[in-house]
A and B are shown apart, each in its own frame.
Chain A
């Protein structure tokens, strides 16, 4: 089956640090999204990025569809960035979003 692999599984950052999260996928993707799950369990849309690069404040993302990976950059991290970051892709014609296992990020003051 299709694999969506995220690395690293866990990340501890000091406030102000920068980091890169990676998502590898095993097949051609119709749609690639990044989410942040906050401590209350809500899934927040960060990026819809099937290809190319996008930026939103301190966050940016790049997807290289031909090489089957996507990167999420967090710059000048803040404690509110803590939570789990998921990448997810739609690979089939039925629209199912296939999630990676997530990267647990903890930002310490």
Chain B
């Protein structure tokens, strides 16, 4: 089944404890991206990647890192999480930068 898989789906952590949210797609898509969704602010892009080893900042990259060492994986790294990073996170992928974007199921992160 074609899908975008994120893990963990739910996480409660504490300020400063490094964490990684994994994202994997099995559709051989070139383009991958991370979004966060917050009440009143909608969905905003954090980082995106056009292909392996090609990544760039979206609208809200502060406090996040990404890497794209393999085509299928695009992990989101929070080196030192803070409470303002409490959010619902989505990973997404598409065949190209203009194609249909498919989203993972979301990861609900709470930073205390």
Partner of A95, one of B35, B88, B90, B98: B98
B61 adjacent to chain A (CB < 8 Å): no
Q: Known contacts A31-B100, A41-B108, A90-B98: does B45 contact A97 (CB below 8 Å)?
A: yes
How far is it, in angstroms, between the C-alpha of A99 and the C-alpha of B103 when the chains are bound?
Answer: 13
Residues of A within 8 A of B92 (CB): 97
| Min distance, Cβ B57 to any Cβ of chain A, angstroms | 10
Interface size on A, residues (CB 8 A): 21
Interface size of B by CB at 8 A reads 26
A residues within 8 A CB of B59?
96
Contacts of A101 in B (CB 8 A): 42
With beta carbons under 8 angstroms apart, the residue of B31, B42, B97 that contacts A102 is B42
Cα separation A96 to B33 with both chains bound (whole Å): 8
Query: Closest approach, in angstroms, between the C-beta of B49 and any C-beta of chain A?
Result: 10
Q: Which of A31-77 contact B (CB under 8 A)?
A: 31, 33, 35, 41-43, 45, 48
Q: Contact flags (1/0) for B42-66 with A, using CB distance below 8 Å?
A: 1101001010000010110000000
A96 vs B60: C-alpha distance in the bound complex, in angstroms? 12
Chain B positions near chain A (C-beta within 8 angstroms) = 31, 33, 35, 42-43, 45, 48, 50, 56, 58-59, 88, 90, 92, 94, 96-103, 105-106, 108
List 10 A-B residue pairs with CB atoms under 8 Å apart, sorted by A's residue number. Answer: A35-B103, A42-B103, A42-B106, A45-B100, A45-B102, A48-B100, A90-B101, A93-B97, A97-B43, A99-B42
